[in-house]
Amino acid sequence: MKRVCCGRPVFFVKPESGMNRKIMNIYVCVKHVPDSAATITVEGGTGINEKITFLLNPYDEHAVTEAARIKTGLPDAEVVAVCLGKPTAETTLRAAMAMGADRGILIETDRPQDSIFTALALAAAIQSDGRPWIIFTGKESIDSEGMQTQFRLAENLSLPVATNVIKVDIDGDGVRVESEREAGTIDVIRMTAPCVIGAGKGLNTPNYPTFPDIVKSRKKPVRRIGLADLAIESPAAGMQIQELVPAVEQRTPRALTGSAADIAAQIVDILKNEAKVI
């Protein structure tokens, strides 16, 4: 059902099953990704040299920050960071805990997984841990940029989902969010919890940890789970990387001469007729 309020569409979404509001588990699904400032070297055609810096996916920083903010007003809530990755991904969980998560769950795998399998593993780990109230993710990861995991996760758990969310309000037994679409269009969506929320950059300013936060995070528990422990059935579909090719930028410098007015006119002509951005 859709209702228009103040010129904005408002959607009401109810999941197939309700939940006990006394259970306030807030899960944040995070990803261990290469630092965007690192020099990426392709190896074997389908992989990269991993002797580089990895970190918490930037969009997930917004998700963790929002989960920690919501917990502030709910003393019974617990924020749990969940990650599928190699053993080294524990550093990303520690980063999430330094930003406010209470504990972490690491689903260990020896190789990268596609969004189909990742969503299955995350759903299974969350279900084995407790009953979710809100599940946060980033709207996308900076390495694969698939923007699919949150939707697949919601489907696996039969929950409503909203992505690129820029505002979250607890609304009675549900959650009210503002989801930004193209050209600044904003959808106002009210979902009955439990639900999945994909955090966008406009949601908040990440709560980067202080040194004491980092020290405290080292004492917080991380539960390690093997994929075999989750007994996940192989999905009927899957995706594989066929080839990774380094991006090559081809630039042709051009000197612009003449008066300031002439140079300005040349720039406008280039942007309009060559770059076609205006």
Per residue in 212-233, pLDDT (tens digit) is 999 999 999 999 999 888 988 8
Environment class of residue 152 by beta-carbon count within 10 Å: exposed (0-12), middle (13-18) or buried (19+)?
Answer: buried
177 within 8 A of 161, measured Cβ to Cβ: no
pLDDT for the residue numbered 47 = 77
How sure is the predictor about 8, in pLDDT bands with cuts at 50, 70 and 90?
A: very low
How sure is the predictor about 22, in pLDDT bands with cuts at 50, 70 and 90?
A: low
**What average pLDDT does the chain have?**
86
Give the integer Cα–Cα distance in Å for 14 and 11. 10
Structure tokens at 266: 């040349």
pLDDT for the residue numbered 181 = 87
Is the pLDDT reported for residue 11 higher than 70? no
Which of residues 43 and 195 earns the better pLDDT score?
195
Is the pLDDT reported for residue 238 higher than 90? no
pLDDT in tens, 148-195: 899 999 999 999 999 999 999 988 878 999 999 887 789 999 999 899
pLDDT for the residue numbered 18 = 39
Q: How many CB atoms lie within 10 A of CB 166?
A: 17
| All domains in the chain, ordered by first residue | 2-230 (3.40.50.620)
Q: How far is CA 198 from CA 152, 180, 191, 202, in A?
A: 12, 11, 13, 12
* pTM metric for this prediction: 0.80
Strand arrangement, sheet containing 2-5: 2-5, 8-13, 186-192, 174-180, 161-171, 195-199, 132-138, 25-30, 78-85, 103-108, 222-226
